[in-house]
């Protein structure tokens, strides 16, 4: 696990290089003229059942046209090259709708050099009818662009710090717990060595040697497992993220740090665990647990973390400095380690408060916690720390991605609405006609299709872009409630239920606006009146006012620079309705883009970090489950003779099984309670550092608690076979 973590910088560097190498936008100021070394490129991205598919239409303009990374040659026009993951998706029997959309012969596959990860869906479609001046088409003489890295925003820096701490602290907690597996048997071996003449210093050295050798052996075995698992990395995908085999190369400095840190932690925990044990020639004496644990220093640890977090960052810009990052790290570590300090005190208080009454399994469980509470909390500390970190992480991610909306949301953005609006655009400035709307209207689930031309205009000296919709009166009446209409009229309209104070548009008769970014100027025509929008209004997800213009009011120049658009009203209850619409549009022209305004696009950088952190949390939970199982099996073996004696005296095995289950579930339940409290406090404090409101997502808290409880319950059930074997009469034998 730690070697995987040490590979993260390499994974990121390789991924960034592949991103830079396949950039297909001219980011320089120079104009590129046609030659044998140029290629035309246009975005034709699509989505299939929630999976994003990166598509590009390309047209080489000469024999020396540059090739996209991962593509070895251009196929013939009408053919395409696809990524292996997309090829698999297309050949899956249930994906006939996608095959209809990408109904082009496959001439080859894209190699890893052109993909971000093995599971990415990418295709390049070769065309021979692209125009350089049409819409989003651009001319390139090379792919790729190297540019300096931009610093992450403060909130994303904070999210990265939180993710690193949340992922690594549980690993450290379980290393500390694993070092003490078999501690009682080790102490008995050391007592035998004392009997034959070893002194206390020699026993301490022998104990350190045992732990050191086993730790080195474990590190070597972990390295072998890492190198073996690395070969299968491309077949594994977690939370939508995958890596290539060559990406999983640990950074040398971090790999050395892993070895040193694990050895140091193992030796340090061993020496600390022997402070309460007196290994004498005739046996092992452990310090009595009758003294009550003190609470003040246990509470002081998380309080110190909160104070450090409060004083570490005065403004979000402080997160770009080393001191701010270090203080945030120390504060988070104090809070999460505070979980392991508070939990033993809570378990001790519970066992004292509720012992002495209740059913027999309950009393056996509480007595077991009293006699061996340290081992019980030791096995739970890891999951408590992981849950606390996951709660803090989810609170932070939810707060950073939460965008409060002022005013009343329009019906088109209401998830429970039975109908929504889609917008299909073809930015080709070419032939227009009613065939687009007619074909899209026949798509399953579509209730209405309205054709119009969409023109983007903005103030000449720069400013907020505004939208003009151009259509005849018959189609304008489908978009707004018009009192009367004739060619030459123009109407100003806005979605119903929006807040006018957020409107940044300016519509004044005679005002000069620029069409597009570099197009000619356009004069705002006479506005006949204002009108109320209908449910087919395409800008339902915006609070901005839009100008509806007839062809006579807009003028031929505006029509020539407008985008051919079809507004669609569709039923949300129809299966795969959005994919049907995308497929119908792609069959008309692969360059058709389809937008669904009701869907939030999110923050790509935030989404990428969130997915990476969730993938790491998933891997840590697997580690937690395996480590808890090892610890539970160790505890059952340590209590084997006691359990056999109880069965010999007539105790039913079912009673013992319930007591073992309670002895595991009780600390886990208390650990989850402590973890969610501290995790919520940590997440709220982190959001406060960057000035974000704190969301209260109780469903998320219950889900994380349910996952933690399920892990503990599953581990306990897996220990039952060992429990049955430990209660056999043979367990009474002792030498």
More confident residue, 474 or 408: 474
Which of 206-210, 312-316, 432-436, 507-511 has the least mean pLDDT? 432-436
40 phi/psi in degrees, rounded to 5: -95, 140
Cα–Cα distance measured from residue 308 to residue 332, given in angstroms and rounded to the nearest whole number: 9
Helices (H), 372-442: 373-401, 435-441
More confident residue, 476 or 416: 476
More confident residue, 631 or 263: 263
* 112 contacts: CB under 8 Å, gap ≥ 6: 70, 118, 244
Cα–Cα distance measured from residue 419 to residue 106, given in angstroms and rounded to the nearest whole number: 36
* 351 contacts: CB under 8 Å, gap ≥ 6: 366, 369, 370, 373
Are residues 210 and 186 in contact, defined by beta-carbon separation less than 8 angstroms? yes
Mean pLDDT of the chain: 82
* 501 contacts: CB under 8 Å, gap ≥ 6: none
668, pLDDT greater than 60: yes
What residue has token string 């803090």? 392
Write out the two tokens for 287: 């310090």
More confident residue, 415 or 237: 237
For 400-435, the pLDDT digits (tens) are 765 544 433 443 444 445 778 888 888 765 555 557
Residues 306-309: contacts with CB under 8 Å, at least 24 apart: 306/331, 306/335, 306/681, 306/685, 307/331, 308/334, 309/335, 309/682, 309/685, 309/686, 309/689
For 346-391, the pLDDT digits (tens) are 888 888 888 777 888 888 888 878 776 666 676 677 777 877 877 7
For 245-256, the pLDDT digits (tens) are 999 999 999 999
For 566-620, the pLDDT digits (tens) are 999 999 888 899 999 999 999 998 988 898 876 555 566 666 666 666 666 666 6
pTM of the model: 0.75
Q: What is the pLDDT of residue 354?
A: 82
Write out the two tokens for 731: 């367990």
Nearest partner of 345 among 305, 422, 289, 387, judged by Cα: 289
For 439-467, the pLDDT digits (tens) are 999 999 999 999 999 999 998 887 788 99
More confident residue, 400 or 244: 244
315 phi/psi in degrees, rounded to 5: -145, 155
List 549's β-bridge partners, or say none. Answer: 470, 490
Query: What average pLDDT score do residues 5-34 get?
Result: 87
Percentage of residues in the chain having pLDDT higher than 90: 32
Cα–Cα distance measured from residue 174 to residue 627, given in angstroms and rounded to the nearest whole number: 7
List 85's β-bridge partners, or say none. Answer: none
Are residues 672 and 705 in contact, defined by beta-carbon separation less than 8 angstroms? yes
């Amino acid at each position: 696990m730690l070697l995987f973590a040490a590979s993260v910088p390499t994974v990121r560097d390789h991924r960034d290089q592949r991103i830079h190498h396949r950039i297909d936008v001219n980011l320089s100021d120079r104009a590129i003229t046609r030659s044998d070394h140029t290629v035309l490129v246009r975005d034709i991205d699509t989505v299939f059942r929630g999976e994003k598919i990166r598509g590009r239409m390309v047209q080489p303009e000469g024999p020396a046209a540059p090739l996209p990374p991962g593509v070895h040659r251009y196929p013939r026009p009408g053919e395409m090259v696809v990524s292996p993951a997309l090829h698999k998706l297309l050949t899956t029997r249930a994906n006939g709708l996608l095959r209809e959309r990408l109904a082009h012969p496959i001439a080859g596959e894209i190699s890893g050099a052109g993909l971000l990860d093995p599971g990415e869906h990418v295709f390049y479609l070769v065309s021979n009818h692209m125009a350089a001046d049409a819409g989003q088409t651009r001319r390139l003489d090379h792919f790729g662009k190297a540019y300096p890295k931009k610093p992450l925003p403060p909130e994303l820096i904070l999210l990265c710090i939180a993710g690193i701490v949340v992922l690594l602290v549980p690993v450290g907690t379980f290393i500390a717990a694993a070092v003490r597996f078999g501690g009682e048997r080790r102490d008995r071996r050391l007592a035998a060595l004392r009997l034959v003449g070893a002194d206390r210093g020699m026993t301490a050295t022998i104990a350190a040697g045992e732990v050191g050798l086993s730790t080195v052996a474990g590190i070597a075995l972990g390295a072998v497992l890492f190198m073996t698992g690395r070969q299968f990395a491309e077949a594994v995908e977690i939370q939508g993220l995958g890596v290539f085999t060559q990406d999983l190369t640990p950074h040398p400095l971090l790999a050395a740090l892993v070895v040193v840190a694990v050895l140091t932690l193992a030796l340090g925990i061993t020496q600390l665990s022997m402070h309460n044990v007196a290994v004498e020639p005739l046996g092992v004496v452990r310090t009595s647990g009758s003294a009550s644990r003190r609470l003040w220093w246990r509470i002081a640890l998380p309080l110190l973390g909160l104070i450090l977090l409060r004083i570490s960052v005065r403004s979000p810009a402080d997160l770009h400095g080393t001191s701010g990052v270090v203080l945030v790290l120390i504060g988070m570590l104090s809070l999460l380690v505070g979980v392991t300090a508070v939990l033993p005190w809570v378990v001790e208080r519970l066992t004292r408060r509720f012992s002495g009454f209740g059913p027999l399994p309950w009393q056996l469980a509480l007595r077991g916690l009293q006699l061996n509470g340290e081992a019980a909390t030791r096995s739970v500390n890891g999951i408590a720390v992981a849950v606390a970190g996951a709660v803090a992480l989810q609170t932070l991610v939810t707060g950073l991605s939460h965008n409060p909306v002022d005013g009343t949301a329009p019906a088109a953005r209401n998830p429970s609405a039975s109908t929504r609006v889609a917008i299909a655009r073809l930015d080709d400035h070419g032939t227009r006609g009613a065939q687009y709307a007619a074909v899209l209207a026949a798509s399953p689930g579509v209730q209405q299709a309205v054709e119009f031309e969409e023109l983007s205009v903005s103030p000449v000296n720069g400013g907020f872009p505004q939208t003009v919709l151009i259509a005849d009166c018959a189609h304008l009446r489908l978009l707004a409630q018009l009192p009367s209409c004739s060619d030459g009229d123009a109407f100003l309209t806005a979605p119903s239920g929006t807040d006018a104070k957020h409107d940044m548009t300016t519509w004044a008769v005679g005002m000069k606006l620029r069409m597009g970014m570099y197009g000619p100027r356009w004069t705002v025509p006479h506005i006949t009146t204002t009108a109320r929008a209908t449910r087919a209004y395409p800008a339902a997800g915006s609070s901005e006012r839009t100008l509806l213009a007839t062809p006579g009011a807009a003028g031929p120049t505006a029509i020539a620079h407008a985008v051919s658009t079809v507004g669609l009203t569709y039923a949300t209850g129809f299966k795969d309705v959005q994919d049907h619409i995308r497929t119908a549009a792609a069959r008309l022209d692969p360059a058709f883009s389809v937008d669904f305004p009701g869907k939030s696009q999110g923050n790509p950088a935030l989404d990428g970090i969130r997915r990476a952190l969730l993938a790491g949390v998933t891997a840590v939970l697997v580690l937690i489950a395996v480590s808890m199982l090892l610890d539970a099996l160790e505890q059952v073996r340590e209590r084997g003779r006691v359990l056999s004696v109880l069965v010999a005296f007539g105790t039913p095995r079912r009673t013992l099984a319930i007591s073992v289950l309670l002895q595991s579930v009780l600390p886990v339940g208390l650990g989850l309670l402590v973890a969610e409290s501290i995790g919520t406090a940590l997440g709220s404090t982190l959001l406060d550092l960057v000035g974000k409101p704190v969301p209260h997502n109780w469903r998320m808290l219950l889900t994380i608690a349910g996952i933690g409880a399920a892990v503990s319950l599953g581990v306990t059930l897996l220990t039952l076979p060992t429990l049955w074997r430990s209660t056999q009469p043979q367990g009474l034998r002792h030498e």
